[in-house]
Structure 1
Amino acid sequence: MTDFIARDETATLISADKVEGTAVFNHDGEKLGSVEDVMLDKRQGNVAFAVMSFGGFLGMGEKHHPLPWDTLDYDEDRDGYVVNLSKEKLEDAPTIERNETNRLYDRSYGEKVYGYYGVQPYWI
């Protein structure tokens, strides 16, 4: 049997499991965290959020920030995503607990997240 997907990345597509763990940097080159999960809107076919882990040590004190997908730009030179955020702005950003991804299904919470980053929600 032949593998359906021969590679997990092409010039324009990447599998979600390869996105997970990818570093996230700000424009100053500081590593802010890494993509922990990708949340897909299965009805509309959009990537809704990238959940980024930030801070902590060995999982202790780590924060999880849902980022609207449109806030991330892939940078081949860094082999990671770049966001227009400072560490200070990220400190005040909306967070979720590791087991709270169900909050992302709440449109009012989603609007709060998108509003914080100044991005129009994809569903509007």
Structure 2
Amino acid sequence: MTSNYVTRDNFGMYAKNADGPGPAIMGADTLLGNDVYNREGEKLGDIKEFMVVMATGQIDYAVLSFGGLLGLGDKLFAVPWAALSLDTHNKRFTLNTPKDVLKNAPGFDKGHWPAIADKAWAGSIHKFYGTPYSEV
């Protein structure tokens, strides 16, 4: 089953296309679980979590789950928010990363999260995905 922001909308936010939120402002809970595809149309996984900078409220990363079977053996990736784009036509996210490249991306498992606030780690992740990074 496809999981997207429309199927996860429990409050009718997206019932009308002309009114209400989206796509400029979206409900966070409706985005969790959304599918992520690359530009070649390959499914890369789905969004499991958002990492929010508490001082600003800015989303820095979406945590993408990739691989495994029925949630077992999944590898997690902290993908910079700037690397994702919302595909409103297909109601999913797009990450411009080939599947083979993502298999070798810096990732982690559920029991071994990286120090996401670490500036050296963040710089390497942004470099991998080709997104801008400022240590400020």
Q: TM-score, length-normalised on structure 2?
A: 0.79
4+ runs deviating over 3 angstroms: 5-9, 99-102
AA matched with 1:37: E
Q: Corresponding residue for 1:10?
A: 21
Q: Percent identity?
A: 28
C-alpha distance in structure 1 between counterparts of 2:133 and 2:71, whole Å: 30
AA matched with 1:43: A
Structure 2 gap segments, 5+ residues each: 1-10, 15-19
- Structure 2 residue corresponding to 1:73, chosen from 81, 85, 92: 85
Query: Does structure 1 conserve the Cα–Cα contact (< 8 Å) formed by 2:74 and 2:109?
Result: no
Instruction: Note the aligned Cα RMSD (angstroms).
Output: 2.0
Q: Corresponding residue for 1:47?
A: 59
Structure 1 gap segments, 5+ residues each: none
Higher helix share: 1
AA matched with 2:82: D
For 1:13-28, what aligned pairs fall within 5 Å after superposition?
Answer: 13-28=25-40
Q: TM-score, length-normalised on structure 1?
A: 0.86
Query: Cα distance 1:102–1:65, how it changes in 2: closer, same or farther (>3 A)?
Result: closer
C-alpha distance in structure 2 between counterparts of 1:77 and 1:58, whole Å: 27
